[in-house]
Amino acid sequence: MPFAIALFLQADTGVLAGFLGIFVLFILGIALLVIGAKTIRIVPQASVMLIERLGRFNRVAASGLNILTPFLDKPRAVYWTNTRPGLTSIDLREQFLDLPPQPVITRDNVTIHVDSVVYWQVTDPVKAVYEMNDLVGGIVQLTITGMRAVMGDMDLDHTLSQRDQINGKLRLILDEATDKWGVKVTRVDVKNINPPDDVRITMEKQMTAERTRRALVLQAEGERQAAITRAEGEKQAAVTRAEGEKQSAILAAEGAAQARLRNSEAEAQAIGQVASAMQDHGNPAQYLITTRYIESLRDMTKSNNAKVIFMPVETSSMLASVGAMTEMISETVGKHSSDDSQPPPPPPRQLR
């Protein structure tokens, strides 16, 4: 019986020793895992990690595999607004902050709500962590105060029309203030400027009236230009018409002159032929005067107003002489035509 008890106690001691060994190995494994986790740190690309040794800054761990001294080295955690609490890696890429609408009072005492976007980048992670407690919160507050300072010196109309100037001034203010924090502000953009409803309605009415005025001015200007153009056209048409009438009158005068010259030449030839035919039979001038006299009497008889015509006494003798002269001229012309085989002279023309 005592021998059995001794065997049982010996077997129980072996089991306890086995359990104890497994527990010790488990504890050692956990310790090794903890030590390994504290020793090996992998930093992502475009990120850095600040390593502190015994609470003091030691070095900057670049991206990739980094070996730390366990229980001596520890990554510095940051607690920034809009970031995960206790973040140990610092992103070096360009980031942005979308600010909610903020009330801003302009120089003409109009309260507007402005929202903006700020683009920034960490250039010195040591300054970003040790020079500013809450880097993101500081940038947000600095943007809000800078926006109120810039727009507070401007009227409402200027704030709506000069966004580029506002963006430039805000970027300069933020860049100068955040330079000692190791941050570079690359761009600031004002997205929306929302005035109150009553101001917006008044501005819309003002713009409507301004557009109506511009439309009336443009219409009046167009009518004035049209009247000027119409007057210029009429002037040019009158000048062209006068030039045409001038040229027409000149051509008509030249044509009349040419016609008179031709008539004079033809009449001169006729008189010459009459004079040559009457060389031996009388005075040609008397013949021509008598012919014109007879033509005048003929015209007088054709007039509708002439009811009674008084003939002078010497008319019959003059007609007799004309008849005699005509017979002599016809005989002379016939003789010349039979002798010389020439055509008879043309009848005498009326002098004009």
Checking if the pLDDT of 326 tops 60, the result is: no
* DSSP code per residue over 119-175: EEEES-HHHHHHT-SSHHHHHHHHHHHHHHHHHTTS-HHHHHH-HHHHHHHHHHHHH
Residue with tokens 């005509």: 326
Burial class (CB in 10 A: 0-12, 13-18, 19+), 347: exposed
Question: Which of these, 83, 90, 53, lies nearest to 70 by C-alpha position?
Answer: 53
**pLDDT tens per residue, range 119-175:** 999 999 999 999 999 999 999 999 999 999 999 999 988 898 899 999 999 999 999
Residue 84 has pLDDT above 50, yes or no: yes
Q: Are 178 and 184 in contact (CB under 8 A)?
A: yes
Residue 185 pLDDT greater than 90, yes or no: yes
Residue 218 banded pLDDT, cuts 50, 70, 90: very high
What share of the chain has pLDDT > 70, as a percent? 76
Q: Work out the mean pLDDT of the chain and round it to a whole number.
A: 81
Residues paired with 78 in a beta bridge: 87
pTM over 0.85: no
Q: 277: buried, middle or exposed (CB in 10 Å: 19+, 13-18, 0-12)?
A: buried
Task: State the amino acid at position 348 in one-letter form.
Answer: P
Backbone angles phi, psi at 96, to 5 degrees: -140, 155
Q: What is the pLDDT of residue 104?
A: 93
pLDDT at 280: 63
As a whole number of angstroms, the distance between CA 171 and CA 220 comes to 46
> pLDDT-based confidence at 289, cuts 50/70/90?
confident
Contact 95, 178 (CB under 8 A): no
pLDDT digits (tens, 9 = 90+) for 26-41: 888 887 787 777 788 8
User: Does the pLDDT value for residue 61 go beyond 70?
Assistant: yes
Nearest to 278 by CA among 318, 316, 330: 330
Residue 291 has pLDDT above 80, yes or no: no
Q: Tell me which residue of 176, 183, 166 sits closest to 117, measured CA to CA.
A: 166
Residues in the chain: 352
Please check whether residue 114 is in contact with residue 190, taking contact to mean a CB–CB distance below 8 angstroms: yes
